Structures are given as C-alpha cells and as structure tokens.
C-alpha cells in the first residue's frame, strides 16, 4: 500500500511539474505567426481601403511618430509591454531605444513584474504606472469616467499633436476578434468615416486595423476582471 501511495504521489508531482513547465514555456515563448481573418466591419490598414483612410485621415501625427518604433509583442501577454516600448521610444527617443527584453530592468522587483506580466498581462493602471516611471506624463481615463463624445474629441485632438499619444485598452470580443483584453496604441483618426487606426501590436495575428470609434468605445466600456474597473484609454505626453 505504501509503495502504491508513493507511486501515485510521484506521478502527481511529475504531472504538476510538466504542467507548470508547459505553462511557463507557453508564457515566455514568442507567439507564432497565425493570421486571423478580420470581421467584415473592420478594415485592414494594408488594404486599398485602409490606405485610402490613412491618406484622408484628419488626424494622423501619431502614426508618423509611432511607425518607426512599431514592434510585435514578443510574448502572448506582452501587448502592454510592446505598446509601452513604442510609446517611450516615440516620445522620449532614448538611446539605445527601449526594448521589450529590457523593459523591466534586472533588479528583483523588475524580474517579479516581468513574471507577473508574462503570466497575466497588465491592467490600464499598471501600464500607466510603468510609463510614468519612464518619465512620461500619463492621464488614465476609464470608460465610466468619460463618454463616446468626449473620447472622440480627445482622440482627434491628441492624434493631431506631436509628443501626445493615445493608448487604448479594450475587449477584443466586442470587435468580433479572438481573445479578451488587449492594449495597443492608436495612430490616426478619419473623421468622415469616424474610424480610428489601432496599431495592433499582436501583428502575428491581426494587422493594424481601422475601427469605428463607437465600436472601440463599446469595447473599452467593459470590465477588466483583474482590476474590477472598466477598461479605457491613456493620454500620454513627454514631460
């Protein structure tokens, strides 16, 4: 009997070790390129229609600022890290440029944060705090504290100004996409069609995408279960 219990215990321990190893590998490995078709109401920025929208965009200063620093998130939960590296590089131009691999530094607290974000991603508030630590001025706006009209006004103004950047946190499911919470910067606003260009850092799966502003607002006006608050957006500028 004792031998049987020991054998069962050893099997359980081995199974747990394999499971944890698999989870760790999945978290730290680079996601493979697996393009997913866009829902019909979204517009691929690389399509003829997407290029037409950018050419006629009424506010697109941020697209030009962010594009040289565009990166694909290096881990499945690193949408916030990839977005932050783009924003810091576009606004502050550090030398050498900030990389996802060096974003958290090498101190113990940084390593702990790295592990936590690798496993769970980050909330809007956590991203704001990390950007502030990098020397940026950040205003956090949860959807419950704003409105679609205010967001339209702020987005149009921000995307027209140099050194002012806009980041959104939204639920992909509201846009008909795969996944749940996601973070990416916004590059442009096309007033005539009322669309925003999301510079999606999960480019292994989705392209940069034009989204109807009310649809994006609806996707931001959702609860993030990690924070217990609605998602929303960040207004960012250099100090």
pLDDT digits (tens, 9 = 90+) for 158-173: 999 998 999 999 999 9
**For position 224, what pLDDT does the model report?**
97
Q: Residues 62, 63, 79, 224: which is the catalytic one?
A: 79
Per annotation, catalytic residue among 182, 190, 215, 224: 182
In the residue annotation, 79 being an active-site residue is answered as yes
Lowest mean pLDDT, pick from 11-15, 49-53, 125-129: 11-15
In tens, the pLDDT along 110-128 reads 756 888 898 889 999 999 9
Does residue 139 register a pLDDT over 50?
yes
Instruction: Kindly name the residue from 171, 200, 215, 224 that is annotated as catalytic.
Output: 200
Asked if residue 201 lies in contact with residue 71, where contact means CB atoms within 8 angstroms, the answer is yes
Q: What is d(CA 211, CA 213) in angstroms, rounded to the nearest whole number?
A: 6
Mean pLDDT of the chain: 88
Residue 63 falls in the annotated catalytic set: no
Residue 200 is a catalytic residue:
yes
Q: How many CB atoms lie within 10 A of CB 203?
A: 17
């Amino acid at each position: 009997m004792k031998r049987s219990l020991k054998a069962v215990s050893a099997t359980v321990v081995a199974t747990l070790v394999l499971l944890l190893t698999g989870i760790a590998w999945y978290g730290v490995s680079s996601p493979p390129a697996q393009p997913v078709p866009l829902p019909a109401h979204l517009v691929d920025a690389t399509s003829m229609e997407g290029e037409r929208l950018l050419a006629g965009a009424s506010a697109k200063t941020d697209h030009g600022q962010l594009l040289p620093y565009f990166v694909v998130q290096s881990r499945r939960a690193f949408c916030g890290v990839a977005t932050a590296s783009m924003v810091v590089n576009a606004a502050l131009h550090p030398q050498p440029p900030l990389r996802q691999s060096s974003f958290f530094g090498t101190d113990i607290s940084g390593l702990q944060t790295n592990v936590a974000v690798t496993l769970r991603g980050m909330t809007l508030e956590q991203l704001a705090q990390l950007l502030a630590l990098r020397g940026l001025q950040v205003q956090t706006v949860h959807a419950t504290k704003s409105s679609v009209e205010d967001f339209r006004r702020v987005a149009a103004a921000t995307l027209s100004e140099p050194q002012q950047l806009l980041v959104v946190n939204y639920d992909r499911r509201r846009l008909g996409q795969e996944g749940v919470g996601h973070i990416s910067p916004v590059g442009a606003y096309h007033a005539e069609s009322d669309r925003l260009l999301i510079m999606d850092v999960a480019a292994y799966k989705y392209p940069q995408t034009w989204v109807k502003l009310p649809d994006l607002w609806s996707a931001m006006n959702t609860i993030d279960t990690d924070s217990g608050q609605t998602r929303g957006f960040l207004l960012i500028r250099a100090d």
